[in-house]
Structures are given as structure tokens and as C-alpha cells.
Structure 1
């Protein structure tokens, strides 16, 4: 489940939502680092800034999900999405997976808005990716038949490591990570119906 053996074209065909989300993240990242484009303007316009959201710029609850601050940030999140996303997309279907990803990210950003200070700035797909982890956590507890024992152990280890690392790294949006995890867990029953 977590090892990829598909060709590039097969991956895109089998997992269109994971592919499209990854492509959007990469394109936006490239747009912010190319010297020919107004990179700072793009980043500033699309990042999550709490006081601007409070003043009515509600798109900033969505756009930060696809923005990233640095090469390591984008590589880690896209790699994580490509590894863990296909399993949930195959369980839930493309549309439901995309909605789960988006709602988890938005709810993580709403929690960040409520808890973090007004000047707090946040970007990254981590909250939405933790939403996928939350969906897996729901499967581990209530839908065990959907996963083999080996895959269950693998995803449990990934969830634990990711949560622990979130607490250890000062530069991450811990509220967004935990918010995404809880959101994905609570949303999972809606997106895994009839499974």
C-alpha cells in the first residue's frame, strides 16, 4: 500500500487527486522562486496571515494549503502526500479524497486562526496531510479489515513519528498539524461510507 510500483503515467491515472494536488503545490512553489515572476507578491497574497483572515480575506484559509516556504518544506510534504495519499484515495474515491484533504486543511487553518496570534503566518499542506493520517487512524480503530496487519503497523508508526516530530520542531504549525489530524479522524466516517 505504501510502496509505489506504478509508472508515472499509471500513478496519475490511478490517483488523479494526489497527482493534481502535488502538481499545484509544485507549480506554486516554483512560481515563488523564479526570478522572472513577482515571487514575493505571490507568496504574500496566498499565505495564511491570521489578522488578514480576520479582516475578511477568507481565501487565506484555503490557499496556504498549497503554498510552501522552502525546498525542504515542499519536498517533504509532496513526498508524504505521494506515499500516504493513494491508499485513502483508493478507499474513498477521487472526489471524496480531494474533499477530505481540502476540508482537513481548512479546519486546521481555522484552528490556527482561533488559537495563534493575529500576526501569525502559516503555509503548507501539513494540516491536510495530517488529515489523511487522521483518516488512517480512524481506519485502524474502526475499519481494520481495510488494511493488512503490516500496513496497519506501518501507518501507525508513521503517525506516531509525525506527531512526535511536530512537537520537537519549533518551526512547524503544531496547532495546524494536530487540528488536521483530529479533523481527518472526525471526517473519516463521512468519506469511508460503505467500506
Structure 2
């Protein structure tokens, strides 16, 4: 039987994220939130973070929200609302910043997939810290997926479904960002391990 983290302290932040993404999608805010390199360069700096909460169509939204639910089911107990919000903010900032710095040809972006790749890496590393073999499998599996995407390029079929190019570079940057966010969120536990 599944032991889902349904306690209020674990489920509140993912639910807020889900409802916020739905509201942004269902209103004219979506276009105001998406990553647009040109507009960001002209002072609309919020787009670096807000782009991750905007979606190209309903399929894109549903796929990303399914990812939120899956990650919550796997690792929800690792985050209270404050820690979850901090992880999301940092992952959004690092992923958006990485896209801006390292991929100048990427002029438009929206969606949670980069952030979700980072969040799953954070959870996998916490699993590893706890000695769970599944954490190592998840960590390796995510990196194999990303390596394949970097080699083969974005999925044309998924791109058609979501009516946008799949930003595999956001997946890569998000996963790398996940390592840094893990280190930030768990620095006390890491220090204890080093001193032992």
C-alpha cells in the first residue's frame, strides 16, 4: 500500500503550485509570465522565475502537473511548505538564469519541466543520503534520460502535443541546479557527514 505524504505540511505547497499554474494558464497572465529573452533584456526580470509557471497549452500544463504530483508522491515528505517554496524559487532562478547565460539562442521558454528535473534530483540525492538504493537508481536514470535528450534532441512528437519545442537544455540546467539546491537545503546534514 502506498504511504503518501498527505499531512498538511507536505501537501500544501504542491497544491498551491498546482492551483497557481492553473490560474496563470487560464488567465491572460500566461503571456506576461513566459520567458522572453528580448523582454527580459529590456527590464522584465521577473520572467526569469515566472516562466516556469506558464504553459503553452493544456497538454503541457497537464504533463507538468502530473510531474508535480509524481514528485510529491515520491519525495513529498522531504519538504515542508517553506522548504518546498525555497527549492522551487531557487530552481526557477537557477534554471532561468542558466538558460539566459548559456543558451542565448533560446528566445522563448515556459513550463515547469526544468524545475521538475531539479526537484527530482534533490529528492534522489536525499534518498541517497538516507541510504536508499532507489535514490541512486533515480539519480542515474534522470541523468541517462538527459544524456539521451542531449544526444538525440527534443522529441518532435511531444513538441507537437505541447505546441512548443521541448527545451531539453532546461532539463539539463534544472538537473544541475538540483545538485546545488540539494547542497543548500541540506548543508547542515552534509557538514555533519564530513565531520564524522
* Residue equivalent to 1:16: 12
- Asked if 1:29 is matched to 2:25, the reply is yes
The secondary structure found in structure 2 opposite 1:62 is: helix
In structure 2, C-alpha distance between the alignment counterparts of 1:187 and 1:14, rounded to whole Å: 18
- Asked if 1:155 is matched to 2:138, the reply is yes
User: Judging changes above 3 Å, is the alpha-carbon distance between structure 1 residues 119 and 179 closer, same or farther for their aligned structure 2 residues?
Assistant: closer
In structure 1, C-alpha distance between the alignment counterparts of 2:115 and 2:4, rounded to whole Å: 24
In structure 2, C-alpha distance between the alignment counterparts of 1:117 and 1:14, rounded to whole Å: 37
Q: Which deviates more, 70-79 or 129-138?
A: 129-138
Uncovered stretches (5+) of structure 2, i.e. residues with no partner: 157-164, 190-196
Contact 1:4 1:83 in 2 (8 A): no
User: Judging changes above 3 Å, is the alpha-carbon distance between structure 1 residues 189 and 91 closer, same or farther for their aligned structure 2 residues?
Assistant: same
Uncovered stretches (5+) of structure 1, i.e. residues with no partner: 32-38
What per-residue deviation string (whole Å, max 9, x for no partner) do you get for residues 111-168 of structure 1? 1112333671100011111111221343355x042x4x3x436634752565235744
By how many angstroms is 1:75 displaced?
Answer: 0.9
Q: TM-score, normalised by structure 2?
A: 0.76
In structure 2, C-alpha distance between the alignment counterparts of 1:182 and 1:114, rounded to whole Å: 14
Counterpart pick for 2:155 among 144, 150, 169: 169
- Asked if 1:71 is matched to 2:71, the reply is no
Q: Which deviates more, 98-107 or 158-167?
A: 158-167
How many correspondences in the alignment?
A: 178
